[in-house]
Each structure stands twice: as C-alpha cells, then as structure tokens.
C-alpha cells in the first residue's frame, strides 16, 4: 500500500463520521471537531511509515493509554504479579460496569482494558507519589511512541476528573475489597492524567509497531518491552480491546486492536504492521465510527487478518 491508496481509502470512509458522535459525556471531548480522519501505518517489512489525512493531529489517548500503562506495570512488577491482580478474561459488560468485578464471585477485575482493570493496573506503577508515577508513565509513552512532544492536556485532565465519579466508585469498591493497594485519590489522579495526554496517529502506529515487532522498536532496534509481554498484550487486545465490539471486530477484521473514546484506534499485526487511526466521532460501542470502517478496509487491502 502506498500513500495514494491510503488517501483513497480515507476519502471512501470519511463520511462515516456522520454515523457517530463525539464523547460528549466528557465536556472537553465534546468540543472536538468530528470531521477528521487520519491514519498511519508502520510497515515493518520495508521499515517505512505510510500516513495520510489527519495523521498528525493531536488528540486525547484515552483508553489506548491502558496498553502502555499495562506494559509499564509489567516492567515494574513482572507478569506474575500483574496478572495475580487483574484477570485476562473478556467481558460482555460495559467498560465501566461494576459487574466486571462481581460476576462469578471474582476477586479481581476481569481484564486490564475495562476501567476497573485499568485503574488496578495504574495502582501497580512504581513511584514515590502521583506526580512521580505520572512522570514515569509520560516518559514511557514518549519512548514507546517515539514522540517527545507528548504532553498532558490540562483541559481534558480536569474534565476527566470532574466527570469521573463512576471511576471513583470502582476504585473505592476495589480498595474496600482488598483488590488494590495504595491511596485511591492518588491512583485516580494518575489514571485521569494518563488518559488525557495528547498523541497522534503516527505515534500510536509506532506503539503498535513495537507490539507487532516482538517488543523491539523498529526505528532504533531497541528492545523496549519483553517479547512475552508484547505477545500477552496483543492477545488481550484481540479479546477485549474494543469494548463490547471486540468479538465482532475479531471475527470480521481479525487484528489485535485497542480503541479510545478520544477517537483513536491502534492495531498491531504481528511481524507486519503497526497501525494508528484517528477520527473522533464514536459508534454506540465507544469506538471510532469512521476509524473502524477505514481500519477494516486497510486490513482487507493488506490481507492482514491474523486468522486468515
């Protein structure tokens, strides 16, 4: 695939933004222009980036932050401790549902990509205080996205914090049931911040490329994460990366992916591609409406379905 082919697919799928709406339950995200669509593809075989459309527009990473924070938690604690705290099961419940912890008498959140699991993951990040923990997350995101310009979006952070009562209830429930350790307000402050950093589709494609490339950054050949953690995280992305749309996406598209309500999508095709997409209008499941359509077409064009 070349740039012109990608531009054509962006043009073909742009109108799908009209079928969705921006995440208006977070006031700062409600202000984002829905008429945007961009994509970046890191081609591992040819060591090149293909990008078109709004691929360098900065947007809030939101739930895609759950991937790098999980990877950092694994670096800090090891796989065994992380997955003693958080399960790896898919869920049929909403991403912010308390049922992701209480069903079948579970003693842990069902997976790291539902909100309860993500908050538990954040609680495992090493650091002296909330500021230190977030600084470590931010530094890791800059490294794995190869993007030194990633910064905290203060407006989105404050908006997330003001509207985050369900996340507070999940965190206090976990604390009260000995599922997590640490100070709940501190953990939540870090969590709200990690969701509020500004990234681009290009940076997300590079993050996905590290996952696709067995933990090695293809631009400098550095082993940023272990091969085992890259494999496990891609597996969880396949079963739980797109909220309640995960199963249908795996059947019809067939690549490990993670979404965020800022309109981002990341896909990691093992040994082949890292992909980043941005379009802020969301479908009923909370995934990018035009982004899903574009990613579906690109995967078909590249014959990238891992189940083929």
- The residues annotated as belonging to the active site are 63, 66, 191, 243, 261
Strand partners, 277: 39, 265
Burial class (CB in 10 A: 0-12, 13-18, 19+), 128: exposed
191 marked as binding residue = yes
Tell me how far apart the alpha carbons of residues 234 and 305 are, in angstroms, rounded to a whole number. Answer: 14
Which structure tokens are listed for 131? 């500021």
User: Do the Cβ atoms of 188 and 167 come closer than 8 Å?
Assistant: yes
Tell me how far CA of residue 123 lies from CA of 118, 179, 181, 246, 263, in angstroms. Answer: 9, 10, 7, 25, 25
Residue 196 has φ and ψ, to the nearest 5°, of -110, 15
153 marked as binding residue = no
243 marked as binding residue = yes
Neighbours of 145 (CB within 10 A): 26
Tell me how far apart the alpha carbons of residues 126 and 115 are, in angstroms, rounded to a whole number. Answer: 19
Residue 271: helix, strand or coil by DSSP?
Answer: coil
167 marked as binding residue = yes
160 marked as binding residue = yes
Neighbours of 92 (CB within 10 A): 12
Tell me how far apart the alpha carbons of residues 192 and 21 are, in angstroms, rounded to a whole number. Answer: 22
Can you give the C-alpha Rg of the chain in angstroms? 18
User: Do the Cβ atoms of 42 and 182 come closer than 8 Å?
Assistant: no
What's the per-residue H, E or C state across 5-34? HHHHHHHHHHHHHHHCECCCCCHHHHCCCC
Residue 244 has φ and ψ, to the nearest 5°, of -75, -5
**Which residue numbers belong to the known binding site for substrate?**
63, 115, 160, 167, 191, 243, 261
**Which residue numbers belong to the known binding site?**
63, 115, 160, 167, 191, 243, 261
């Amino acid at each position: 695939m070349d740039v012109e082919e990608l531009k054509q697919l962006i043009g073909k799928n742009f109108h799908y933004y009209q079928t969705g709406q921006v995440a208006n339950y977070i006031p700062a995200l409600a202000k984002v222009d829905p008429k945007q669509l961009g994509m970046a593809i890191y081609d591992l075989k040819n060591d090149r980036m293909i990008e078109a459309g709004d691929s360098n527009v900065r947007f809030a990473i939101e739930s895609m932050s759950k991937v790098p924070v999980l990877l950092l938690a694994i670096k800090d604690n090891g796989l065994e401790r992380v997955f003693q705290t958080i399960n790896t099961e898919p869920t049929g419940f909403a991403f912010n549902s308390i049922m992701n912890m209480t069903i079948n008498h579970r003693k842990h959140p069902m997976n790291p990509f539902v909100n309860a699991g993500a908050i538990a993951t954040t609680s495992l990040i090493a650091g002296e205080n909330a500021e230190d923990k977030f600084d470590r997350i931010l530094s890791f995101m800059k490294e794995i996205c190869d993007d030194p310009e990633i910064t905290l979006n203060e407006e989105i952070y404050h908006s997330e914090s003001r509207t985050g009562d369900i996340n507070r209830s999940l965190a206090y429930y976990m604390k009260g049931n000995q599922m997590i350790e640490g100070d709940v307000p501190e953990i939540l402050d870090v969590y709200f911040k990690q969701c509020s950093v500004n990234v681009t589709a290009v940076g997300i494609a590079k993050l996905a490329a590290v996952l696709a490339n067995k933990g090695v950054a293809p631009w400098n050949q550095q082993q940023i994460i272990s091969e085992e953690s890259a494999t496990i995280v891609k597996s969880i992305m396949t079963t739980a990366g797109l909220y309640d749309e995960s199963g249908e996406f795996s059947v019809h598209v067939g690549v490990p992916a993670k979404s965020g309500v800022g309109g981002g999508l990341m896909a990691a095709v093992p040994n082949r591609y890292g992909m980043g997409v941005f379009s802020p209008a969301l479908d009923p499941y909370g995934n990018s409406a035009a982004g899903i359509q574009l990613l579906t077409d690109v995967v078909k064009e590249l014959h990238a379905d891992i189940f083929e």
